[in-house]
Homo-oligomer: A and B are copies of this chain.
Amino acid sequence: MSSIYHGQLTVSIFGQSHAPAIGVTVDGIPAGETVDLEELQAFLARRAPGTGAWSTTRKEGDKPEVLSGLVQGKTCGAPLAAVIRNTNTRSGDYENLKDIPRPGHADYTAQVKYGGFQDVAGGGHFSGRLTAPLCIAGGICKQLLARRGIFVGAHIAAIAGIPDATFDPVGLEQSALQAPGEKIFPVIDDEAGERMQAAIAEAKAQLDSVGGVIECAVVGLPAGLGDPMLDGMENRIARLTFAIPAVKGVEFGAGFAVANLRGSQNNDPFYMDGDRVRTRTNHSGGILGGITNGMPLVFRAAVKPTPSIGQVQDSVSLSRKENTKLEIKGRHDPCIVPRAVPCVEAAAAIAVYDALLEQEKRREQP
């Protein structure tokens, strides 16, 4: 247990920030599916650092090498394994993180859990860098979904309290869904995006960081995907989205706003749109009883401000058992929300493709 999603697909993520490599195995993709590695590379580039002022200038060069599972660009039924080499290994001195944990990071909890044997370099297995293999798996699932007419997209819904426009939960089309992802700063409303970037720059100047919210949607979904109770679409997506280290909340459709709605407002009335059943509103986020209803699937994830900030912070020395101060060196993203956008898409794509594989099985029954 730890870095494995086990459904129709088994997605198993490995690696540490400064180990020789990070990577992922994906077991369960049917044979004969095309994987476009250039398209995958373009998707990974959206997560890579150094693309904007809100990000570190460190260059990681997240170029995946597929070790197995593909023959001439098509899946062969065997597990797909892909790795990204870490070029930047063991360069710094991280040993003091075992003694003086950084607030907001996993240094202290990993020290307790692993008794000092954890890999502290660059955050080890807890590094945001581990979202790159998540994006490899998710990027592949995204491609496989797109070929079935199912599209996954996301945008920054808010940063530092500045809201973007929202996806139209009822009438969302593929083009509107994918438009933000084609921008360097993935928002719907570019003017709001500029204000967000200004807020990031201001925080950065003050050696601080800001958080935000990401909204993600899936369109083109058939009704009937997902399972009751523990394998509903909410369960699957939440479980995968919380794999992104900074996520602290996940909500579907109206989400926490349901607390202020009455049933007569929150219920989405059904109507016939030609032969198709649709709902007039979409407070459910396209999910009823854990199962897709064919409307856009819509959810949001809260992303905390980068815990690595340049200001002096209070911490403790675990060895001396006394209070102390800590100053984190190096360059860090003042806001990771933009880079987390494709990660949230990846989480959604894995969950949806997994549910699709399961449903295709059931539907085939005589």
Interface string of A318-337 (1 = CB under 8 A from B): 10011100000000000000
**Do A106 and B291 touch (CB < 8 A)?**
yes
* Any B CB within 8 A of the CB of A201: no
- In the assembly, what is the distance between CA of A11 and CA of B33, in Å? 25
User: Do B313 and A267 have beta carbons less than 8 Å apart?
Assistant: yes
Chain B residues near A267 (CB-CB < 8 A): 103-104, 307, 309, 313
Kindly identify, within residues 208 to 230 of chain A, every residue whose CB is under 8 Å from any CB belonging to chain B: 208-213, 222-230
Encode A329-362 as 1/0 by CB contact (under 8 A) with B.
0000000000000000000000000000111111
Does any Cβ of B come within 8 Å of A248's Cβ?
yes
Q: How far is the CB of A133 from chain B (nearest CB, A)?
A: 10
* Min C-beta distance of A140 to chain B, whole Å: 14
**B112, B242, B243: which contacts A224 (Cβ < 8 A)?**
B112
Contact size class for A? Answer: 35 or more
B266, A211: Cβ atoms closer than 8 Å? yes
Do the beta carbons of A229 and B117 come within 8 Å of each other?
no
CB closest residue in chain B, given A101: B270
Q: A3: shortest Cβ distance to chain B, in Å?
A: 4
Establish whether residues B259 and A228, one from each chain, have CB atoms under 8 Å apart when the complex forms. no
- Tell me, in angstroms, the Cα distance from A224 to B288 when the chains sit together: 36
Contacts of A240 in B (CB 8 A): 230
The 5 closest A-B pairs by CB, nearest first: A106-B289, A249-B251, A361-B361, A209-B263, A78-B125
- Interface residues in A255-270 by Cβ distance below 8 A to B read 255-270
Q: For the complex, is A305 an interface residue (Cβ under 8 Å from B)?
A: yes
Q: Which of A44-52, A165-173, A176-184, A278-286 contacts B (4 or more CB under 8 A)?
A: A278-286
Question: How many whole Å from A187's CB to the nearest CB in chain B?
Answer: 14
- Interface hub of A116, A213, A230, A307 (most chain B Cβ within 10 A): A230
A77 and B14 contact, CB distance less than 8 A:
no
CB-based contact A230/B2 at 8 Å: yes
- Quick check: B12 and A10 within 8 Å, CB to CB? yes
Per assembly, the copies of the chain total 4
Nearest neighbor of A163 in chain B, beta-carbon distance: B259
For the complex, give the distance between the alpha carbons of A230 and B77 in Å.
14
| Complex Cα spacing A301 to B112, Å | 28
A291 near B31: Cβ-Cβ < 8 Å: no
Not counting A1-B7, A3-B231, A16-B69, a sample of 8 additional A-B residue pairs whose C-beta atoms are within 8 angstroms of each other reads: A1-B358, A2-B79, A15-B68, A104-B267, A108-B288, A213-B256, A238-B250, A248-B258
Question: Is B81 a contact partner of A15 (Cβ separation < 8 A)?
Answer: yes
**Roughly how many angstroms separate A224 CA and B243 CA in the complex, as a whole number?**
17
Name the CB-closest residue of B to A315: B270
Known: A259-B212, A269-B314. A289 touches B109 (CB 8 A): yes
**Cα-based distance from A203 to B266 in the complex (angstroms):** 13
Which residue, of A83, A258, A263, A309, has the highest number of chain B Cβ atoms within 10 A? A263
**Does the CB pair A103–B269 fall under 8 Å?**
yes
With a CB–CB cut-off of 8 A, which chain B residues contact A5?
230
A226 partner residues in chain B, CB cutoff 8 A: 109, 113
Query: In the complex the two chains form, what is the Cα distance from A277 to B145 in whole Å?
Result: 35
A37 at the interface (CB under 8 A from B): no
